[in-house]
Amino acid sequence: DGGITQSPKYLFRKEGQNVTLSCEQNLNHDAMYWYRQDPGQGLRLIYYSQIVNDFQKGDIAEGYSVSREKKESFPLTVTSAQKNPTAFYLCASSIYTGGYGYTFGSGTRLTVV
Amino acid sequence: AQSVTQPDIHITVSEGASLELRCNYSYGATPYLFWYVQSPGQGLQLLLKYFSGDTLVQGIKGFEAEFKRSQSSFNLRKPSVHWSDAAEYFCAVVLNQAGTALIFGKGTTLSVSS
């Protein structure tokens, strides 16, 4: 079955370390997205990508980086510049941006220790 | 600025009572509209969506939502709430144009009392 796989489900990071969250989809979707979720804040857009080798910053891109070398994959790196990285991260994909038919992964919970 | 507002942070409803969760948006044009539900520690599940046509849309789990253009609202309703409906609910919108992404409200937490 097609879907989005996020790994790992739980991730612990020491302060000052970079960490990469994986997001893979087999839906043949062109667009992919990363959201951050904090209690009471809803989901805020970090980065999104419309096609391979292209991505745009969302509302809270500072301290994060992404790549889109393959259509299926959109990894998110949380860098040491992100001052408050502890959060729940959700990846999503859609056929194209500005449309509908979004599919979400099950999320990665990142905790800084 | 474009925004999605869910005025109610937390709502408590008795089991069997009706439910209405509010959502207002601020966009230059009518966007596509969605309601999602999330159980603790889980991903999002789509309840329903509105693109065009009939302004009353039916979704899964007995939910429905009504689009009111004049009020820029897309409120979610359920006639009789079950204890299993306790979760967090998110309203989301996206413009029908390339280069835009789904934008979410801050969510409403629903508690169900017996």
Q: Indicate yes or no: CB of A56 within 8 angstroms of CB of B99.
A: yes
Q: Indicate yes or no: CB of B97 within 8 angstroms of CB of A56.
A: no
Report the alpha-carbon distance of residue B80 to residue B62 in Å, rounded: 9
Q: Residue A1: pLDDT band by 50, 70, 90 thresholds?
A: low
pLDDT at A98: 72
Judge whether residue B55 has pLDDT over 70.
yes
- In terms of residues, how long is chain B? 114
- Looking only at the bridges linking them, the beta strands covering B56-58 and B24-26 are unpaired
Strands (DSSP E) found in A8-107? 10-13, 19-25, 31-38, 42-49, 56-57, 64-66, 76-78, 87-94, 103-104
For chain B, the average pLDDT equals 92
A8: helix, coil or strand? coil
Q: Which of B4, B44, B57 to mutate to test the interface with A (most CBs of A within 10 A)?
A: B44
- Specify the range with the lowest mean pLDDT, choosing from A44-48, B6-10, B43-47: B43-47
Q: Which domains does chain B have, with CATH numbers?
A: 3-113 (2.60.40.10)
φ, ψ of residue B92 to 5 degrees: the values are -145, 150
Q: Indicate yes or no: CB of A107 within 8 angstroms of CB of B42.
A: yes
What letter represents residue B101's amino acid?
Answer: A
| Contact present, A20 and A71 (Cβ < 8 Å) | no
Judge whether residue A74 has pLDDT over 90.
yes
Task: Give A43 or A98, the one with higher predicted confidence.
Answer: A43
User: Which pairs count as long-range contacts for B62-68, CB under 8 Å and 24+ apart, including other chains?
Assistant: B63/B35, B65/B33, B65/B35, B67/B33
Cα angle B62-B63-B65, degrees, rounded to a multiple of 5? 150
Contact residues on chain A for B100, CB-CB shorter than 8 A: 97-98
Report the alpha-carbon distance of residue B58 to residue B51 in Å, rounded: 13
